[in-house]
């Protein structure tokens, strides 16, 4: 099991490298396949041996081989986060289709969250894939199209998920509406509503409450820490919503033990 988990971690590193490409190119509406990977400073093509996840960054000491400009630390960080995420989901869900469903789902949220950090924008189009993937899994489970042993078990059943999606979207909509009236400025982005809908779809309305609490705690920590590190008054909330959701997702067994699901 350890060797398989390590293999899944390595696969996650490779996908993390690809996710970095998506994070850079999607907001710019560039092709994700052409041109090949290149330095964003000198545009020189990156050789395969300089594109090995994490290791190449270490060997190159975080600089382009040709122009010597610094490579963003974001690249190895995203690769490691993706590797850990893949491995954690695999350990939790094992060899089931729902492990693939949740890997696609949370990978999409990771990409959207980092894009939100960098651009302060969430494109609804980027949330279609995780929504369709999760709904497909829930429908397969609802109508018992595939053997439960192969499919795996979703966090919640379809009915609970749909109600959770409605509750999540409505909650953030109200926070955004009344928060804007009270603060006299936009309290949350419209994209956060779409993220909340996916959150409710993933864990249902009951656990959504705890996901929001975790998101609030993560957001509060960032709200205190980030201005100390850099003067950035606008802090996107989507990353914290995603972090809160992943936290309660990994704590599923604890919630079930206390009959909270």
Q: 157 by DSSP, 3-state: which?
A: coil
Q: Which residues fall within 8 angstroms of residue 118, CB to CB, at 6 or more apart? A: 23, 27
Is 84 exposed, middle or buried, given 0-12, 13-18 or 19+ CB atoms closer than 10 A?
A: middle
Quick one: 127 and 235 in the same domain? yes
Mean pLDDT of 75-103: 97
pLDDT over 70 at 233, yes or no: no
What is the predicted pLDDT for the residue at 234? 74
Average pLDDT value for the chain: 92
pLDDT classification of 258: cutoffs 50, 70, 90: confident
Dihedral angle sign, alpha carbons of residues 91, 92, 97, 98: negative
Quick one: 256 and 127 in the same domain? yes
pTM of the model: 0.93
Q: 192 with 237: CB under 8 angstroms?
A: yes
The per-residue pLDDT for range 7-63, each reduced to its tens digit, is 999 999 999 999 999 999 999 999 988 888 888 889 888 898 999 999 999 999 999
Quick one: 147 and 63 in the same domain? no
How many structural domains are present in the chain?
A: 2
In a domain, 47, yes or no: yes
* Token pair 């890997």 in the structure block, residue: 103
Mean pLDDT of 229-247: 84
pLDDT over 60 at 229, yes or no: no
Quick one: 143 and 217 in the same domain? yes
Q: Which of 56, 75, 95 is a domain's end point?
A: 95
Helix runs in the chain, H state only: 2-25, 55-59, 74-93, 97-119, 128-142, 148-151, 158-183, 190-229, 238-250, 252-257
Quick one: 152 and 55 in the same domain? no
The residue range of the domain holding 197 is: 123-260
CA 86 to CA 94: how far, in whole Å? 11
Dihedral angle sign, alpha carbons of residues 233, 239, 241, 247: negative
In a domain, 113, yes or no: no
> Looking at the DSSP assignment, which residues form a beta bridge with residue 63?
70
In a domain, 104, yes or no: no
What is the predicted pLDDT for the residue at 39? 87
Quick one: 133 and 235 in the same domain? yes
Q: 142 by DSSP, 3-state: which?
A: helix
Quick one: 61 and 167 in the same domain? no
Quick one: 68 and 189 in the same domain? no
In a domain, 227, yes or no: yes
pLDDT over 70 at 100, yes or no: yes
Quick one: 88 and 181 in the same domain? no
**Using omega within 30 degrees of 0 as the cis cutoff, is the peptide bond preceding 35 cis?**
yes
The per-residue pLDDT for range 141-156, each reduced to its tens digit, is 999 989 989 999 999 9
Q: Which of 48, 78, 95 is a domain's end point?
A: 95
In a domain, 254, yes or no: yes
Q: Which residues fall within 8 angstroms of residue 94, CB to CB, at 6 or more apart? A: 152
In a domain, 105, yes or no: no
Neighbour tally for 251: CB within 10 Å: 16
Q: Which of 48, 77, 95 is a domain's end point?
A: 95
Quick one: 82 and 210 in the same domain? no
Percent of the chain with pLDDT over 90: 74
Quick one: 132 and 204 in the same domain? yes
Q: 70 by DSSP, 3-state: which?
A: strand
What is the predicted pLDDT for the residue at 232? 59
In a domain, 225, yes or no: yes
What is the predicted pLDDT for the residue at 231? 59
Q: 106 with 19: CB under 8 angstroms?
A: no
Quick one: 43 and 140 in the same domain? no
108 or 235, which is more confident: 108
In a domain, 8, yes or no: yes
Q: 45 by DSSP, 3-state: which?
A: strand
């Amino acid at each position: 099991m350890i060797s398989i988990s390590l293999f899944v971690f390595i696969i996650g590193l490779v996908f993390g490298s690809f996710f970095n490409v998506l994070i850079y190119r999607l907001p710019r509406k560039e092709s994700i396949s052409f041109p090949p990977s290149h330095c964003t400073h000198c545009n020189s093509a990156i050789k395969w041996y300089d594109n090995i996840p994490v290791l190449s960054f270490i060997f190159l000491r975080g600089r382009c081989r040709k122009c010597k400009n610094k490579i963003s630390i974001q690249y190895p960080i995203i690769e490691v986060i993706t590797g850990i995420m893949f491995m954690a989901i695999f350990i939790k869900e094992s060899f089931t289709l729902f492990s693939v469903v949740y890997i696609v789902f949370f990978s999409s949220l990771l990409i959207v969250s980092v894009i939100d950090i960098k651009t302060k924008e969430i494109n609804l189009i980027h949330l279609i894939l995780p929504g369709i993937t999760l709904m497909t899994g829930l429908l397969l489970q609802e109508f018992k199209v595939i053997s439960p042993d192969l499919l795996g078990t979703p966090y919640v059943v379809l009915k609970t998920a749909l109600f959770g999606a409605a509750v999540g979207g409505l909650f953030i909509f109200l926070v955004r509406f009344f928060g804007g009236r009270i603060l006299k400025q936009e309290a949350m982005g419209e994209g956060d509503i779409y993220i909340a809908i996916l959150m409710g779809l993933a864990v249902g309305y009951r656990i959504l409450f705890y996901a929001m609490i975790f998101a609030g705690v993560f957001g509060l920590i960032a709200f205190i820490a980030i201005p100390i590190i850099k003067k950035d008054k606008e802090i996107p909330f989507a990353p914290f919503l995603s972090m809160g959701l992943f936290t309660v997702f990994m704590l599923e067994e604890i919630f079930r033990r206390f009959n909270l699901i």
